[in-house]
Every structure is written in C-alpha cells, then in structure tokens.
Structure 1
Amino acid sequence: MAQSYTIYINETSLIITEPTVKVTKSYQQIESKKFSFSEFYARVKSGALNGTYVINTSNAKKLFKTIRDSLKLIEAAGGLVSNEENRYLFIFRKGKWDLPKGKLDDGEKVREAARREVEEECGIKVNKVKDKICKTWHVYEMGSKIVIKKTTWYFMSAKNQAKLVPQLEEDITEARWIAPGDFDQVRQNTYPLIKDVISVVG
C-alpha cells in the first residue's frame, strides 16, 4: 500500500509521498535525491519557501523516518469535539483558530491525554472519546532545538456543556462551538494542519 506523510511548519506543508498517491492540493515539486530537511526548514523559516511542497519517492516511509529520527520527538494528543447540536469545539490562541490539544504527561496514555487536554483547555467534561481521526506532524523550534510534534487526534463528544472556560494561562482567549457550515471563518485564520483535521467533518 502506497504511503504518504505530511510535515507541517506553520503555514507550510511538506508532503512526502509515493508516485501512485494523488495530491489534490496545488503544490510545488521537490526532487528527493539531494533533499536536506534542515536546509528546507531553514528556507521556510527565512520566508523563502511558503505553501505546499511535494517529494515523490519510491519509499516515503523511509524518507519520513529519516527526517523524524533526526529531530527531537514530542508526543501530544487532542480532540475534534462535537456537542448535541452537531457543533464543534474550537479555541482561539495567539491570534488564530485552533483545536484543543497538548503534550502527554510522563507515563500517560495517548487517549487519556487527549481527554485531559480538551477538558483543561476548554473547562468542559468530555462524555466520550471515540475513534482516532489521524496523526499529524508539526515541526517547530523549542529553545535551540528543532522538534517534531506528533499529535494524535480523536473524535469526542461533550453533551450539555453550555459554559466554556478558556485556559488563559495557555494563551487561549476564547473557546467556541462552531457549526460545520461556519467553518469558513476558521479556515480563513488557522493553520494548514487544522484545516486537514477538520476536513473530515466539513
């Protein structure tokens, strides 16, 4: 089965894929033979590269693993949470719409971390953690190190949670239930990573 991996660097996406996988977004092609992720990252950070880039390779898994193993790994988990009105829970953090998520505590199971982070960041009670949606990979700087964050996303439900309490100490200034028909307001001011996660519902 053909493999495809997407690495997000804020507004920029790097898709590592195999020739048989169709990429539906508009993108720029990158040659795989002399590809250096550190050089690619530096060019993205300098503003020289922006948008979606695709590397076609016969072994996407191997190239992705090489990149992942060269960086410090951080594990996180989060949720796409629906209520009884089929609205979904979003947070507004650092000037952009986002989904509740956070890092795993030592020894914590991924599913438990996803529930805890959603409850802490939005001041609600999650009734049920459902199926896994996907994993996303986000590269950024933490101090002097470049890290890769693996976030596992779950469908969740939270019923009768009228009051939302954004976690201000995590720079969350608003938490809001938004219907899929109104997702355009989110898409206009969010990250490509979040757009991809919410595409499963609208």
Structure 2
Amino acid sequence: MYEVFVNESPLILTNKRPEKSNGHLFSLDGDSIMKAINSLAKGKLEKAYMYHPDEEKMLDIFMHKIPLVVAGGGFVTNKKGKVLFIFRNGKWDLPKGKVDKGESIEEAALREVEEETGVNGLKIDKFLRTTYHIFKRNGEFWLKQTHWFAMSTKFEGKLVAEKAEGIKRVKWKGPKKAKKALENSYANIRILFEDWPTS
C-alpha cells in the first residue's frame, strides 16, 4: 500500500479492494488517475483508492502516468536532540529538494539541507522512508517522490534561511515546539515524526 497526498488528502494505492470505498475506488489507468487527483485537488473527495492486484507493479504504473520529480530530504537532529525545521509557504516543513543530474539521492539530501538552512557538518545516520505527494506546476500535475534520511550534526552556528527558495525561517525545535509546528505542517512531514523517540 502507498499513500500519495493531493493537498492533504490521501490517494491510496492498494492491492486489496477496500470494503468501504463509498464509490471512491478508481482503476489504475491514465484517465482514472487524473480523475481521482482532480477530485481530491478540488476537495470533492477526502480520500480515494486506486486498485491494482499486483503491489509490486502498481507504483511503477502510477509513476509512468504522471511526470515524476525525485527529491532528497533531511530529518536533522543536533546534539540536544532538536529537529531542524524550515518555514515556507506559511507552513513548517523539513529541508528537501530535487536531485540534480549526476547526483545521488543522498548527495542531494545533504546539499539541499545545507543550502536551505546553512547547517553543515551533516552526517546521514540512516534512510527513513519515502513519501509521495502531488503538486501542480504550469497547470500540470506532478508527482514528487521524496527520500528522507535521518541526519545528525554538531553544528552550532547561525541558521541561514535560503530566501531564494521562499524560506522565511529556520529553527531547531525540541519535542514540545515540534509538536506545535506539526499542527501547521503537511501530512507527509507528520508521518516522519511517528517514530521519533522523544515525541
């Protein structure tokens, strides 16, 4: 099963037919995919399901029907166990960005965190998970696949928001402030905090 977020509404790719889909079940073909995405984007549906019997193939099929952007991002903690947040487009987010040509996803994640926040001395501790969301650019829907990594740093310098990327603020947040920030964040970001030990 995969969750692809359209705004904050989930489009669930599944190989099991949901018992209660309330007419929100779509087949995995081009027309149905766009119909489901449009319905979620316009708020006509709160949740939609896409069914395909083969779990291994369904994500590939979905990704071939919609243009894909691959990104890398960091769930960065410092020596005090605080998490690095950025504030952009009126919401708290985590630093991430598109993988450039010839770059590995890990290299992109490290580069983007440093560029967006000014934090250096970053070390990847482990891969966390991959998240998916749909966004619109020039009137066309795109799928963003973000590979998230747990990172750590001993950095204690000044945080610098990358203004060119629309980032207004960069902050380290402990459990209490992180919880508050997540109330004004994205579903994909909240998912990353599900296993955060100090939350």
Match of 2:186 in 1: 191
Q: Deviation of residue 42 (structure 1)?
A: 1.1
Select which of 6, 21, 35 maps to 1:39. 35
Q: Give the 3 Å change call, closer, same or farther, for CA 29–190 of structure 1 in structure 2.
A: farther
Match of 2:86 in 1: 91
TM-score (norm 2): 0.87
The answer as to whether partners of 1:136 and 1:151 remain within 8 angstroms in 2 is yes
| Cα-to-partner distance string for 1:77-103 (whole Å, 9 max, x where unaligned) | 010000000000000001000000000
TM-score (norm 1): 0.86
Map residues 1-202 of structure 1 onto 2, 5 A cutoff: 4-19=1-16, 30-33=24-27, 36-50=32-46, 52-55=47-50, 57-201=52-196, 202=199
Q: Deviation of residue 20 (structure 1)?
A: 10
Distance in structure 2 (CA, Å) of the matches to 1:114 and 1:48: 35
Q: Give the 3 Å change call, closer, same or farther, for CA 62–34 of structure 1 in structure 2.
A: closer
Identity %: 32
Q: Deviation of residue 158 (structure 1)?
A: 1.5
Q: Which runs of 5+ in 1 are unaligned?
A: 22-26
Distance in structure 2 (CA, Å) of the matches to 1:179 and 1:112: 26
- In structure 2, give the amino acid aligned to 1:45: A
- In structure 2, give the amino acid aligned to 1:46: K
- List structure 1 runs of 4+ shifted beyond 6 angstroms: none
Aligned length: 193
The answer as to whether partners of 1:115 and 1:126 remain within 8 angstroms in 2 is no
| Cα-to-partner distance string for 1:124-170 (whole Å, 9 max, x where unaligned) | 10331121101111111221322111111001011132421111111
Q: Which runs of 5+ in 2 are unaligned?
A: none
Q: Deviation of residue 123 (structure 1)?
A: 0.7
Give secondary structure in 1 for the equivalent of 2:40. Answer: helix
Q: Give the 3 Å change call, closer, same or farther, for CA 107–53 of structure 1 in structure 2.
A: same
Question: Over aligned residues, Cα RMSD in angstroms?
Answer: 2.3
